[in-house]
């Protein structure tokens, strides 16, 4: 066998590597397969289509809270709309909103789309100072030409 090393020590190393490599590959493959449901994708309202964000899958949806869209229910439910100035998605959230949540500001929500394409949020994340906007939202607004240049120079603004 011309492809095997001549030294017994080198042959032993080759057999160890040949035995360990498939086991390691299997372990990595199983780990990646197990983590596939823990990955949360980010979408803007115009990117969240039936194909990219199917009903029932946990995703993050971000954009600006549309002015005049916040409706508070008697049972603690809050409905509002998030827009990226191209499309708008209706969000329903049960619970307390962050103190800094308000209309016209950036927000990221995590939850699932319902079959009627409304979004049931389980978590709402709001900005943390007057100029900050989540990086994903800022990138989407820049790509669409809707970015406010005065926010870019502030200390809390995302660096690009």
Residue numbers of the domain that contains 127:
41-152
What residues form DSSP beta bridges with 111? 59, 121
Q: Which two tokens stand for residue 45?
A: 């309202």
Segment 109-144, tens digit of pLDDT: 999 998 888 899 999 988 655 455 667 777 777 777
Residue 119's closest CA among 86, 66, 85, 79? 79
In a domain, 20, yes or no: yes
Say whether both 19 and 65 belong to one domain: no
**How far lies 36's CA from each of 32, 85, 86, 94, 109, in Å?**
6, 31, 30, 27, 20
Q: Is residue 157 part of a domain?
A: no
Query: pTM here?
Result: 0.61
Say how many domains are in the chain. Answer: 2
Indicate if 77 and 139 belong to the same structural domain. yes
Q: Are residues 57 and 127 in the same domain?
A: yes
Q: What is the CATH number of the domain that holds 107?
A: 2.40.50.140
Q: Are residues 102 and 116 in the same domain?
A: yes
Q: Is 112 part of any domain?
A: yes
Q: What is the pLDDT of residues 8-26, one digit of tens each?
A: 898 888 889 999 999 999 9
> Residues 46, 68: one domain?
yes
């Amino acid at each position: 066998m011309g492809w095997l090393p001549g030294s017994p020590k080198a042959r032993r190393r080759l057999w160890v590597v040949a035995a360990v490599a498939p086991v390691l590959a299997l372990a990595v493959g199983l780990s990646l397969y197990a983590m596939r449901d823990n990955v949360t994708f980010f979408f803007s309202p115009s990117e969240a289509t039936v194909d990219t964000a199917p009903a029932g899958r946990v995703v993050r949806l971000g954009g600006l809270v549309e002015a005049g869209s916040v409706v508070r229910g008697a049972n603690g439910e809050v409905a509002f709309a998030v827009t990226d100035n191209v499309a708008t998605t209706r969000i329903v959230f049960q619970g307390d909103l962050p103190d800094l949540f308000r209309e016209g500001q950036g927000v990221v929500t995590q939850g699932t789309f319902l079959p009627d394409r409304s979004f049931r949020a389980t978590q709402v994340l709001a900005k943390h100072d007057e100029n900050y906007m989540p990086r994903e939202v800022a990138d989407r607004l820049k790509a669409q030409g809707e970015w406010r240049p005065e926010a870019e120079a502030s200390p809390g603004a995302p660096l690009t």
